[in-house]
Structure 1
Amino acid sequence: MALSNLGLAALALLRQIEPVVVLEQLGSTLFDTALQMVVKDRCANATYPGTLSREDSQQKAMSDFYMVFNLIVKLTPILPALLLAWFGDRGWRRLPIVVPLCGYLVSRLVLLLLVIFQLPLEVMYGAAVLFGLSGGFCAFWPGVMTLVSLGSTAADRTKVMMRVELLYGAAGLVGSLVSGHLFLLYSSSLGNGTVLLAVSVLLAVLCLLQPIFLLQVKQECNSEPEDHCQLLPPDSRNTPAEAPVETDKANVALLFAAAILYTSAVGGAVEILGLFVLKEPLGWTATEVGYGNAAGCMIFVTSYLGVMVFRRFVSDVMIILIGMISFASGIYFMSFVTATYMFYLARSLNLFALTPLPTIRSLLSIQVPESSCGTTLTLMQLALKFAGLAYIPAFTKIYQATLGWFPGFVFTLASIITVLGMIPISVFGCRSPQRRPNERI
């Protein structure tokens, strides 16, 4: 009987969205470390006219590759993601998840073949195109958030979304810690990274099979008993908890503006951070890169714990502002990092840096009707992708131009943009009545 109950519990767990998130992030962290180290190896002998040092040439070659690669990844998913969101809002909720996972699998296979057969690094541009045409993260994450949103009440939506972010970060933490060690393992003398990428491919296969055969789509009834509503404090009852019949366009625009500015700051800084740690005086190895990525994933855990604590005392808008301040302070300190211990000190200031976007998505989901929730979340993700078309080349060129005198200047710029992102979310807070923290009845 006990084994039967255990089996039923395991099956019930596998029918949730959380295993998909965990498997995908585990595979992604392994892939990211492998790609970072492969790019470093392939760009080791790069030369640029007028460049003073070999290291600066390598940094420019790596940043040029990532600029093109990331632009492809952000540009190509636009139409596929919209199409998948359209199908998702018409009942095909699994489609925005399954199709992008096919793209994840293909990109990992291409990198594995590149390492085994010593193919040119430019082959990864083709992998980026295929990944983008599948919808990529632009379709996958809104699909996940839509299922989470529909499966939770409006009152608990922020908490549930942050729980998914917590699992995402915890999986990334585990994957990052082992990725550097796996990269150094050899497989049949094929070279570094083959074992790491083989494991990443296997995880991608398992991740794809789960939503195809096991994932269950359910929708939580958001209606609350009338008696319970009467027990709530008057101010809480006056705050709309459910999705409105019509969209509040002004609030949606403010949330979009805040998300775009914040994502531009975070995305631009993180893109350069992966190159910055490979440059002297840090000069990280594969193992240290994995540990550094693990420190970044640890922020998912601390952000989740922060939300669980803060939501008892402050509004969602204040949670967003706390997260923005956390990132702005940490990334500003990163501008002056010259040793590994300083990197971790700067990262420690980013404890709550991941609270803004999930909370913004939660607020956005209750500004629109449920019938357009998936499309709206996807439109936000696409807006963030379009922002990437501007901030990726901008941050890359600024980094290349400041390599000689202040390599950390881009981090100071990211801090300034984050402060600007606090303006629209503050206006949103003034326009919208905020739910009070939970009170003892």
Structure 2
Amino acid sequence: MASSSRCLNTFLVVVRRVEPLVVLAQLGTSLFDTALLMVVKDRCANATYPLTDAHVSREDDQQRAMSDFYMVNNLIIQLTPIVPAVLLAKAGDKGWRRAPVAVPLCGYLLSSVALLLVVVLKLPIQVMFAAAVFFGISGGFCAYWPGVMTLVSLGSTTETRSQVMMRVELMYGVAGLLGSLLSGHVFLLYSSSVGYGTVLLCICALLHLLSLIHATVLLQVRQVLGEPDDSSSRLLPQSSNSISVDISTRRNMVIVILLFSAAILYGSSVGGAVEILGIFVLKEPLHWTAMQVGYGNMAGFVIFLSSFLGAIVFRRCVSEVTLILIGMLSFASGIYLMSFVTTSYMFYLARSLSLFALIPLPTIRSLLSQQVPTSLWGITLTALQLALRFAALAYIPAFTKLYQRTLGWSPGFVFMLSSILAVLGMIPISVVGFIWSRSIRPVETEVTPERNRVDKEN
């Protein structure tokens, strides 16, 4: 009886954590992504661009139509959540910690239902633009993920925060891996009464409904006892001297700006590449089917697992700054090889080089949370997410138009550009490491002469 009671209590504790919610939501999202891609491909099969050159193939016209759809859809998703995300972040910092998580899940559920109606009722694919607007008004991923990371930060200590964040990223990735693995097979389920993708989207909507119920009913907000409200900087030493405090404050602000800059450059690199990668694999020479798309997405989510394991191993022997640099270099090399991919084997080889590509952003979020008071965690992490959204307003159309213009001679050229941005993102992180090392030296030089004087007096 006592054993069963302990098991029940343990189960209730686990169920009320944020990880089950992340798993449910990401399972639904991974199914939705595959369904949306295949539905868009089907609706754009007969697209034509009468003003293009005569030698342009129908497949290239389809690629342009698909990339145009995703460009508009993603711009809507990036632009509309800005104000709602800020409002939800402020509500979260005032004590409504579930709001930034639960409200966006309403948008996820609505998007799944909207795509289901598009498939069942044969509605035009442009209906998804309206669904994207409602998704953005709910706060979208821009509010959802900072809300999750804020809950994780509240429930962890300063020493373990980065590792706990990576663990949540791992759960996110494992859920995406499983969802992607199943999505291609489930998409092809068909009967005389329903079309392709209907079963998949019904499961997707159910998963998003369950995640919404979890966020509103089961999710528990907890804060580690003993954590100070004003987090001291891990990168800079503390001093009682007012001049030293002012210098440390300025250096701390510089570090925050550099972390934001690195996140924007690296986020633009990853976002721009992923923006094109989904439609890139549908054209020759790869020309993937729905099942192959699911396997390709699964390969992308394997990176969550490898990044988590890599972070655990590397953290024992390198600093967090070096950890970020390893992740950026990993992605830069993998996406550069993607520029020359002509077979599925080469695609998976390129993805294998990006094994640690997901280490940088969670680690940057962890460092940022250590530079600001607890009461500002929500707004700071949301500000970072908004900065990535504003950057998306530039890189989404840039990558899309560049891809369309290079379809004829080098479709993988955009991946080279992505690799360059990732390398540029390493510069501000390297500067942070330099400031870190320089900030420690004055402390040692101040203490050593004092020790020498005491030794001489003795």
TM-score, with length taken from structure 2: 0.90
Paired residue secondary structure (1:293): helix
Matched, 1:348 2:379: no
SS in 1 for 2:316: coil
Query: In structure 2, what residue type is equivalent to 1:250?
Result: V
Instruction: Note the alpha carbon deviations across 1:104-147, whole angstroms, 9 max, x for none.
Output: 00000000010000000000000000000000000000000001
How far residue 3 of structure 1 moved from its aligned partner, in angstroms, is 3.1
Which residue matches 1:439?
Answer: none
Contact 1:27 1:201 in 2 (8 A): yes
Aligned to 2:123: 119
Letter in 1 for 2:139: G
User: What is the rounded CA distance, in whole Å, between the counterparts of 2:58 and 2:389 in structure 1?
Assistant: 33
C-alpha contact (below 8 Å) 1:154/1:222 kept by paired residues: no
- Mapping of 1:293-312 within 5 angstroms? 293-312=297-316
Q: Which residue of 2 aligns with 1:6?
A: 7
Spell out, residue by residue over 1:159-191, the C-alpha distance to the aligned partner (whole angstroms, 9 max, x if none).
000000000000000000000000000255321
Cα distance in 1 for residues equivalent to 2:294 and 2:208: 19
Partner of 2:317, secondary structure, is coil
Look up the match of 1:140: 144
Return the alpha-carbon distance in structure 2 between the equivalents of residues 426 and 76 of structure 1.
34
Which has the larger displacement, 321-330 or 2-11?
2-11
- Render the CA deviation track for 1:311-349: whole Å, top value 9, x for unaligned: 000000000000000000000000000000000000000
Aligned-partner residue type, residue 339 of structure 2:
S
Counterpart check, 1:174 vs 2:178? yes
| 8 Å Cα contact 1:71-1:392 kept in structure 2 | yes
**Aligned AA for 2:298?**
A
Aligned to 1:205: 209
SS of alignment partner, residue 432 of structure 1: helix
Partners of 1:316 and 1:434 within 8 A in 2:
no
1:252 Cα deviation from its structure 2 partner = 0.9
Q: Which has the larger radius of gyration?
A: 2
Mapped to 1, the partners of 2:437 and 2:261 lie a distance apart of 19
> What's 1:47 paired with?
48
Partner of 1:16: 17
> Post-superposition shift, 1:433?
5.0
Measure, in 1, the Cα distance between the counterparts of 2:426 and 2:375: 29
The residue number in structure 2 matching 1:30 is 31
Distance 1:88 1:12 in 2: 22
Structure 1 CA distance, aligned partners of 2:390 and 2:226?
Answer: 33
- Cα separation, 2, equivalents of 1:187 and 1:29: 23
Residue 250 of structure 1 deviates from its aligned partner by 1.2
2:284 counterpart of 1:280: yes
What residue is the counterpart of 1:249 in the other structure?
253
Sort the Cα spacing of 1:201 and 1:187 in 2 relative to 1 into closer, same or farther, 3 A. farther
Among 381, 384, 395, the alignment partner of 1:380 is: 384
Look up the SS of the partner of 1:32 in the other structure. helix
Deviation at 1:246, TM superposition (A): 6.7
- Give the Å deviation of 1:238: 7.9
Indicate if the aligned counterparts of 1:246 and 1:369 stay in contact, CA closer than 8 A: no
- Aligned-partner Cα distance in 1 for 2:83–2:235: 40
Aligned-residue Cα RMSD (Å) equals: 1.9
Please tell me whether the aligned partners of residues 236 and 436 of structure 2 are also in contact (alpha carbons under 8 angstroms).
Answer: no
Query: Residue 407 of structure 2 corresponds to which residue in structure 1?
Result: 403
Q: How has the CA–CA distance of structure 1 residues 86 and 434 changed in structure 2, closer, same or farther, with 3 Å as cutoff? A: farther
Partner of 1:87, secondary structure, is: helix
Q: Check conservation: 1:324, 1:353, Cα contact below 8 A.
A: yes
**Stretches (4+) displaced over 3 A:** 236-240, 244-247, 433-436
Is it true that 1:323 corresponds to 2:324 in the alignment? no
1:109 paired residue number: 113
Deviations 1:271-316 (A, max 9, x none): 1000110010000000000000000000000000000001000000
Give the drift of 1:369: 1.1
- Which residue of structure 2 lines up, in the alignment, with residue 229 of structure 1? none
Q: Which runs of 5+ in 1 are unaligned?
A: 225-235, 437-441
How far residue 223 of structure 1 moved from its aligned partner, in angstroms, is 4.8
Q: Does the 8 A contact of 2:84 with 2:137 survive in 1? A: yes
Asked whether the equivalents of residues 303 and 354 of structure 1 are also in contact (C-alpha less than 8 Å), the reply is yes
From 151, 156, 159, the counterpart of 1:152: 156
**Structure 2 vs 1, CA of residues 216 and 61 (structure 1 numbering), >3 Å: closer, same or farther?**
same
